[in-house]
Amino acid sequence: MIEIILHCSDCNYGNVQIIDKWHKKRGFRKIGYHYVILNGRDKIRYRIERDGLIQKGRPVTEKGAHVSYHNENTIGICLIGKSGKFSERQIDSLFSLIYTLEKELAKKKIKIELHQHSEYDPKKKFCAGLDMKDLINKYKLYVLVKDYFFVDIDKLKKGVKRRK
Ligand SMILES: [Zn+2]
């Protein structure tokens, strides 16, 4: 089992390069998160094409540095923004990233679990500030739509063609 652990950057803007600098200053080899999901603000200016953009941080093949004493078998994803304040595009990208990871890991018969930082560290109560029950329910719906709903429509179309 691999745990996907969600974080917030606790700042209004940022990206992999910026967090990499912060983490290096704290003495890390490099950025501690495996993925960062942008909110469209690398600095102050908002750019829609950067909102929801997924950037790779530390390779997933390397152990992350994002939860004290709980980095084994985890993937750390950081959403840029203050606690619980994320854009719809970010959440949509988060779901597509989790979905991709879940499918990849399923090939190796590895299951995933979704958590956020605050579940493991009482000092990080604000991180990521998500309603996990609600998020997991929404993710399940996302998977349902992706796996069944769309596939069925494709099959239906093929079925109609074959009957001609
Ligand atoms: Zn965190």
Taking the C-alpha atoms of residue 148 and residue 155, their distance in angstroms, rounded to an integer, is: 10
Question: Quick one: pLDDT band at residue 100, thresholds 50, 70, 90?
Answer: very high
Distance in Å, CA 147 to ligand 1 centroid = 30
pLDDT tens readout for residues 106-154 = 999 999 999 999 999 999 999 999 999 999 999 999 999 888 776 656 6
User: What are the sequence ranges of the domains in the chain?
Assistant: 2-163
Q: What is the arithmetic mean of pLDDT over 94-110?
A: 97
**Domain 2-163 grouped into CATH 3.40.80.10:** yes
> Which pLDDT score is estimated for 148?
79
- Report CA(135)–ligand 1 centroid distance (Å): 17
Q: Spell out the long-range contacts of 144-149 with Cβ–Cβ below 8 A and sequence spacing 24 or more.
A: 146/99
Both structure tokens of 69: 């004493």
pLDDT in the model for residue 158: 66
User: What is the per-residue pLDDT across 29-75, written as a single tens digit (0 to 9) for each?
Assistant: 999 999 999 999 999 899 999 999 999 999 999 999 999 999 999 99
Q: What integer pLDDT is reported at residue 14 of this predicted model?
A: 97
Distance CA 61, CA 63 (A): 7
Distance 128 CA to ligand 1 centre (A): 6
Instruction: Look at residue 99 and tell me whether its pLDDT is greater than 80.
Output: yes
| Residue 138, C-beta contacts closer than 8 angstroms, at least 6 positions apart | 91, 95
Fill in the DSSP letter of residue 119.
Answer: G
Evaluate if residue 163 carries a pLDDT over 60: no
DSSP 8-state symbol, 84:
T
Output the CA torsion 115→120→124→128 (10° steps): 0
Q: Could you list the active site residues?
A: 7, 33, 117, 123, 127
- The secondary structure element, H or E, covering residue 17 is helix 16-25
CA gyration radius, the chain: 18
The closest of 43, 46, 55 to 13, measured between CA atoms, is 43
